[in-house]
Structure formats: C-alpha cells, structure tokens
Amino acid sequence: MTQTHRTTLLLLAGLALAGCQAAPLAATSVAPAALAERPATGVARVTPSFKDGEVRRLLTTFTAYTQASINHMEVKLFAVTAGPTETQMGSTVDVAAANLTNTITFGNLKHNTAYRIRAYAYFSAGTGTKISADATSYVDVTVATDDAPALGNLVVSLIDQTFSGSTTSDGLTVNNGAIVHSGTETVTVN
C-alpha cells in the first residue's frame, strides 16, 4: 500500500468517526413551580386485617364478632391536615365479604400529602349494623414524591358483642365478695 493510499484511508476513517460522535445531551431541568403543578400520580395501598371483638360475659350461647361476621365493608379515603382535620376524598369502596383481605389501591393521590384510610365493617347488608370501632379502624399513610406506593396495614377492630338478660334463683345469698345460690336458677337472654 502506498503512502497516498494510507493517507486517504486515514482521512476517510477520521471523517467516518467524526460522523459517529454523539450529539451533546441537552440539559433538562424542571422549575419548582412546574413540580407543584404535576398531576396527582401518587398511590396508596392497604391490606385489611381483622381484630376480633369480645363477648362481655363468658356464655356458650354467644360468640364474638370475627371476620366471618362481616357482610361487607366500606373503605374511605381522607386527606389529613393540621389539627388533625379529615376531609373525605372521592367515593367509598364497598368490599364484599369474599374480598375482605384483598389489597385496596387508591390512585391519583397528591405527593407529600398525609392520608387516613378508614374501614367500616357491617354485620348485614346496608349500613345499619356497624360492627367495627371507628376510633381504631384506620391507618395513616403519607404519599412521598417517589414512584413507590405508600403501604399500610389497615387493622379493622371489631366491637365487643353485647347482650341483655336476666336471671332468677331461689335461695340466693350474698357473702363478702361472692354470691352463693342454692336451688334452681333460670337464665333468660333477650
């Protein structure tokens, strides 16, 4: 190969490499105002679990409320602000008895926002016989600015089962700290 051919090949190779160079990357930045205007894309997921209620007295005819006692459950999302003040967000999710332990997902939530997710368990269809305790059947979650969903364990506390009744006995004696009876006793539960 002659010197001229080598020079020509090197010149062509240099031109080919010059055409293969990557273009410089354009700097991308998002102004803080644009971040504040981002659409609500946060996600919160909760998985319900259940805490059984109790029976006020130890009687074989009564059982405590358990997960099996629930006909359906309503789950509601609230935004929580200072105070704390709750503001209900969106609609209510009604969960059938067969799906009580399924994960529930709330989407389109605002980033950097605190939410409270409340559960209301019902013994029968409709909302007449609620068997969950409002004071403890909720979980607080905060949706961050990243793409990871906020996760929570929603413990649904079932109320204690109460009843009324009366008893009679012939031969009832009240001693110091104890009641002693003799004879026949009758228990009536209403």
The residue among 105, 126, 101, 86 whose CA lies nearest residue 41 is 105
Q: Most confidently modeled of 83-87, 95-99, 124-128, 181-185? A: 95-99
Give the whole-angstrom CA distance, residue 134 versus residue 132: 6
Judged against a pLDDT cut of 70, whether residue 104 lies above it is answered with: yes
Phi and psi dihedrals of 33, rounded to 5? Answer: -65, -35
How much is the mean pLDDT over the chain? 76
Give the whole-angstrom CA distance, residue 69 versus residue 140: 25
Average pLDDT estimate for 15-24: 38
- Taking only the tens place, the pLDDT of each residue in 26-43 is 333 333 344 345 567 889
Tokens of 146: 């990243």
- Taking only the tens place, the pLDDT of each residue in 126-185 is 988 999 999 999 999 999 988 788 899 999 999 987 666 666 666 667 666 666 767 676
- Taking only the tens place, the pLDDT of each residue in 42-60 is 898 999 999 988 765 555 5
